[in-house]
Amino acid sequence: MYLDLWNLVGGLIHWLMVDVIGEILNWLHLYGLADWLGSSGVLHILTIIVVGLIILVVGMLVSITLIWQDRKMLGRFMDRVGTQVGPFGLFQNFADALKVLVKEYIIPDAADRLIYPLAPILIIGLSMAMFVTIPYSQGFYMSNSDLSVILTLAILAVVPFAVLMGGWASNNKYTLIGGMRAAAQTCAYEVPLLLSVASVVVLTGSMNFMDIVAFQYENTWLVIPLIIGFIVFLVSIIAEVERVPFDLPEAEAELVEGWQTEYGGMRFGLIMMSQYARSFVGASLIVLLFFGGWHGPFADYIPAGIWFVVKVFLVFILFVWAWAAFPRIRTDQILDLCWKRLLPLAAINLFIAVFFKTMGWF
């Protein structure tokens, strides 16, 4: 059971543009305009825009819920109650959004005039842009490209570059160190991440999320044969989204607020939110690649999209748990960890995948 988003929105747009607005325009004797609005190209573009807005809003809502889950669960881990505003503390994020909306925008005098305002736009925009490849179910997706996996990883890899830009442009020692640490971190986690994805691609033979999920539905969840790859991917993706224990770029005990020290108000709030947007993308990558995507029991009663989001929340528990359990590690330690521990593990995992595939077990 799933919602066919494209057909639904396409039908709605067709009804609105042809049967409502077209009729009104015909009644006003504007036949040319009515024909143009009813033409297939215009309808197609409008459908894309509306579907895009729906995907964006759904992604942002899930990200906001992840912030709530993070705060509430971290509170429980630390023996606190967590957020309290509204029922179950659900309104805290909206109160925060209202607060940052009325905050002043301060540009430091020493900052770079061109790049300082540009960096947050890049970071936030690219984090939101990652929702484009994530399918929630067979019908609820923005794009169904054969290179979805590689596109997601590509956009994920551009963000640290924007972080380095922002850290450099702020002209502050803390932000500079934070940006450089983000670059160091990219050097560390990128290769194990790509190698563990390569093992998934070897088994499934596709980079399309639909095919990967269908493969897992027919065979088994890939976390079972590729358990080592799953662990490597989990560690790398936590480093990718800059969460504790890998939050060196914004280590608040040493670097004030890291590379975002000089960003205040709305920019700070949205950068904070975009980190959770990336956490959402990371968790959904884990769900899609290793945990069977949107398939679950009781498929006749519970929609596929609900299963997907529930799995994302469950995977996010691992992220919060890591935050609560581990202390922050140093820059040289993350480089050592990724190059001397995760890289051999990822290589072993790739050999296992090739072995399974060659033996014809999958």
Looking only at residues 55 through 74 of this chain, which bind another protein when binding is defined by CB under 8 A?
A: 55-56
Is residue 84 classed exposed, middle or buried when 0-12, 13-18 and 19+ CB atoms within 10 A define those classes?
exposed
Segment 107 to 136, residues that bind another protein, using CB under 8 A: 107-110, 120-121, 124-126, 128-129, 131-133
Residue of 42, 144, 221, 345 that binds another protein (CB under 8 A): 144
93 belongs to the binding site for another protein (CB under 8 A): no
For another protein, give the closer residue by CB, 3 or 198.
198
CB 148 within 8 A of CB 200: no
For another protein, give the closer residue by CB, 38 or 52.
52
142 belongs to the binding site for another protein (CB under 8 A): yes
For another protein, give the closer residue by CB, 74 or 347.
347
What mask of x and - would describe binding to another protein in positions 185 to 214, judged by CB under 8 A? --xx-xx--xx-xxx-xx--xxx-------
Distance CA 164, CA 183 (A): 7
Residue of 5, 9, 73, 176 that binds another protein (CB under 8 A): 176
CB 137 within 8 A of CB 308: yes
94 belongs to the binding site for another protein (CB under 8 A): no
Segment 229 to 258, residues that bind another protein, using CB under 8 A: 256
300 belongs to the binding site for another protein (CB under 8 A): no
Segment 156 to 175, residues that bind another protein, using CB under 8 A: 168, 170-175
Distance CA 91, CA 319 (A): 22
221 belongs to the binding site for another protein (CB under 8 A): no
Segment 31 to 50, residues that bind another protein, using CB under 8 A: 45, 48-49
Distance CA 272, CA 111 (A): 21
Question: Minimum Å distance from CB 325 to another protein?
Answer: 26
Segment 316 to 345, residues that bind another protein, using CB under 8 A: 331-332, 335, 339-340, 343-344
